[in-house]
Chains A and B, each alone.
Chain A
């Protein structure tokens, strides 16, 4: 397949068919360029490049610039916003909350995902689809809407959960009004929403382990638990790493759940970076401060991203 198309412009007599390019005209040059395979390929990528550059790269860089301005965006104040944030106790609390929130939620999501994937994989194949379909529902419902539903379930006066608790003789729980219960509720909803994703991923990974390996292990004398430790986990190591890191990024930056159920309260004790930055930037109108807040997410996301990339590359090599 020729990469370039050799041509000569009309009107010039060529000495013979030697494929020599003789004095091509300007328009011929352009036509040549347009027909090159790599040019076409690049042009096809252009819309994507435009979108990403203008709406992702540029804003990301702009946000750095923005974070170094004062509230009315008239003066350049360097790292003033950052030092201001770091001097506030609330901000440190937000950082800590976001980290705990993300780490614990991801841990439980992965755990539940792994357990449910195994449970479903144990079923006869015909029934697996049904169960898989049912258990994926939390992921399909838009998070904002299911957060609304959970809010209703946690409602201080009408909580349906509290109804069950009190009819069993237990005390009612202040799901969203007590700080520690509020944190629990937020993590709970996040786990509810995200576990199905892990379920799907791990189910696919489980199915990719060849059955004969388990048979060989049976003959070698492995119990079910030993098979899990020595065969399943090592074979799934890469996909577990990828999903965990990926979920860390997404959970870390989560907005919907906290915003809808608690708006950061009570007393800022459920704020995460996303909601705090929203409050400072949009609600209070101090865009530079909001930008500074959300930029704190960047280093952690960056590190996680690098590890994901390595994991995905490794998996690509494993498969291909």
Chain B
């Protein structure tokens, strides 16, 4: 069994705590993505699992055994690096078989494994070439092949797609997903790109400043973020955050965004937010939930008018930017209904998707 477990893992460099006591359980065969901004500690965590960094305190176990004291080669892991780290003087075949050769595998077994991996990754014609004769995408595949032939308990990926151009990145993302379905192995994948996290992961671990903000499936993370950071990090363009006050207006609660704009809280949420009436909070709503009025059965109270500052036609939809109470807000409207910059437009907010966040704690309420 190849579960990975982290218990109270801390990493300190000199006197700076880079990873602050994280706890994580990864069941067998799960594809977990560690995502977060630069410097959040995700790469360090990955390297601690690999054994390339020492654990300051806490335990890391693979397959049920604590591996803190084991060197990388005894942990039965394989890693794909951001810069591929292919041995430049060896051919692709030699690169892929190096680990097996060191472990004294018989020649036929090595041949079999390399051929198998090469077929999965579609690099069979490249086996005799040297790394410098390969393109970036091909090198990445070879790096993955090197990991696959080892049949490890855990695959570790350290931002493997960051060095590829946008189009190639999309292609390779699909490749990785396909390979994961073929070669069922526990995978820990580090990236700063939340799109990669959303598309690849079974579960996502969002990290910030050395701590875990939230662990959840991509959908859960997207629709039910638990903190301000997670809400703002996942999704592109990012969720709109606006200062607001929760008001009681006759029968219902309203969210007052500015002197001109106040939106109703849906009945389903009223009970939850009732205790917070009168407070200054942060109102969160994703751009795709601010649209032009489109449904006939909509709640007219959710409509408001705004003067557009910037209009960005994206083809399938048009992004509109406007200001509410001095804060910039983004909405996504049908290209045909978009007004021009400087013009006024009626917009509709899908309040069923609203979030309220406590500005002090950052917690989503």
Complexed CA–CA distance, A239 and B145 (Å) = 31
Give the residues from 43 to 95 in chain A that come closer than 8 angstroms, CB to CB, to chain B: none
Q: Is B50 an interface residue (CB 8 A)?
A: yes
**How near does chain B come to A303, taking the closest CB pair, in angstroms?**
26
| Chain A, residue nearest B71 (CB) | A218
Q: A215 to B73, Cβ gap below 8 A?
A: no
Q: Is B230 an interface residue (CB 8 A)?
A: no
Q: Is A221 an interface residue (CB 8 A)?
A: yes
**B61-69, B80-88, B177-185, B337-345: which lies at the A interface?**
B80-88
Answer whether A220 and B99 are a contact pair too, CB < 8 Å, given A234-B89, A235-B88, A235-B89.
yes
Answer whether A215 and B52 are a contact pair too, CB < 8 Å, given A220-B73, A221-B73, A221-B103.
yes
> Which of B71, B79, B89, B103 touches A216 (beta carbons < 8 Å)?
B79
Give the residues from 201 to 234 in chain A that come closer than 8 angstroms, CB to CB, to chain B: 210, 212-213, 215-222, 226, 230-231, 234
Q: A218 to B85, Cβ gap below 8 A?
A: no
Answer whether A219 and B99 are a contact pair too, CB < 8 Å, given A234-B89, A235-B88.
yes
Q: Is B347 an interface residue (CB 8 A)?
A: no
**How near does chain A come to B277, taking the closest CB pair, in angstroms?**
56
Q: A212 to B85, Cβ gap below 8 A?
A: yes
Q: A218 to B87, Cβ gap below 8 A?
A: no
Q: B78 to A219, Cβ gap below 8 A?
A: yes
Among B51, B77, B89: residue with most chain A CB under 10 A: B89
Interface residues on B, range: 20 to 34
Q: B83 to A219, Cβ gap below 8 A?
A: no
Residues in B with CB closer than 8 Å to A219 are 50-52, 72-73, 77-79, 99
Give the residues from 323 to 355 in chain B that come closer than 8 angstroms, CB to CB, to chain A: none
Q: B89 to A210, Cβ gap below 8 A?
A: no
> Which of A210, A231, A234, A235 touches B83 (beta carbons < 8 Å)?
A210
Q: B72 to A218, Cβ gap below 8 A?
A: yes
Per-residue 0/1 for B235-250: is the Cβ within 8 Å of any A Cβ (1 yes, 0 no)? Answer: 0000000000000000
Residues in B with CB closer than 8 Å to A212 are 81, 83, 85
Q: A231 to B52, Cβ gap below 8 A?
A: no
Complexed CA–CA distance, A35 and B98 (Å) = 59
| Chain A, residue nearest B81 (CB) | A212
Complexed CA–CA distance, A220 and B88 (Å) = 15
**How near does chain A come to B196, taking the closest CB pair, in angstroms?**
21
Among A220, A230, A235: residue with most chain B CB under 10 A: A220
Residues in A with CB closer than 8 Å to B52 are 215, 218-219
**How near does chain B come to A252, taking the closest CB pair, in angstroms?**
30
Complexed CA–CA distance, A210 and B81 (Å) = 12
Q: A222 to B81, Cβ gap below 8 A?
A: no
Q: Is B102 an interface residue (CB 8 A)?
A: yes
**How near does chain A come to B329, taking the closest CB pair, in angstroms?**
43
Residues in A with CB closer than 8 Å to B89 are 234-235
**How near does chain A come to B185, taking the closest CB pair, in angstroms?**
15
Q: B99 to A221, Cβ gap below 8 A?
A: yes
**How near does chain A come to B67, taking the closest CB pair, in angstroms?**
13
**How near does chain A come to B124, taking the closest CB pair, in angstroms?**
21
Residues in B with CB closer than 8 Å to A217 are 87, 98
Give the residues from 116 to 159 in chain B that come closer than 8 angstroms, CB to CB, to chain A: 146, 150
Complexed CA–CA distance, A212 and B71 (Å) = 16
Q: B103 to A230, Cβ gap below 8 A?
A: no
Complexed CA–CA distance, A294 and B86 (Å) = 49
Complexed CA–CA distance, A218 and B99 (Å) = 9
| Chain B, residue nearest A215 (CB) | B52
Complexed CA–CA distance, A210 and B82 (Å) = 13
Q: B102 to A220, Cβ gap below 8 A?
A: yes
| Chain A, residue nearest B104 (CB) | A221
Complexed CA–CA distance, A231 and B71 (Å) = 19
> Which of B81, B85, B102 touches A226 (beta carbons < 8 Å)?
B102
**How near does chain B come to A205, taking the closest CB pair, in angstroms?**
14
Residues in B with CB closer than 8 Å to A210 are 83, 85
| Chain A, residue nearest B156 (CB) | A219
Q: A230 to B98, Cβ gap below 8 A?
A: yes
Residues in A with CB closer than 8 Å to B99 are 219-221
Complexed CA–CA distance, A221 and B86 (Å) = 15
**How near does chain A come to B69, taking the closest CB pair, in angstroms?**
15
Residues in A with CB closer than 8 Å to B81 are 212, 215-216
Residues in A with CB closer than 8 Å to B146 are 216, 220
**How near does chain B come to A62, taking the closest CB pair, in angstroms?**
46
Per-residue 0/1 for B168-212: is the Cβ within 8 Å of any A Cβ (1 yes, 0 no)? Answer: 000000000000000000000000000000000000000000000
| Chain A, residue nearest B97 (CB) | A220
Q: B85 to A213, Cβ gap below 8 A?
A: yes
Residues in B with CB closer than 8 Å to A222 are 73, 98, 102
Q: A218 to B98, Cβ gap below 8 A?
A: no
Complexed CA–CA distance, A216 and B79 (Å) = 7
Q: A218 to B102, Cβ gap below 8 A?
A: no
**How near does chain A come to B226, taking the closest CB pair, in angstroms?**
34
Complexed CA–CA distance, A215 and B77 (Å) = 12
Complexed CA–CA distance, A226 and B50 (Å) = 19
Answer whether A230 and B87 are a contact pair too, CB < 8 Å, given A218-B73, A219-B99.
yes
Q: A221 to B78, Cβ gap below 8 A?
A: no
Residues in B with CB closer than 8 Å to A213 are 85, 87
Complexed CA–CA distance, A226 and B89 (Å) = 15
| Chain B, residue nearest A221 (CB) | B73
Complexed CA–CA distance, A301 and B243 (Å) = 81
List, sorted by A's number, 12 A–B pairs whose CB atoms are closer than 8 Å. A210-B83, A210-B85, A216-B85, A216-B86, A216-B87, A216-B146, A218-B72, A220-B146, A221-B102, A222-B102, A234-B89, A235-B89
Q: Which residues of A contact B (CB under 8 A)?
A: 210, 212-213, 215-222, 226, 230-231, 234-235
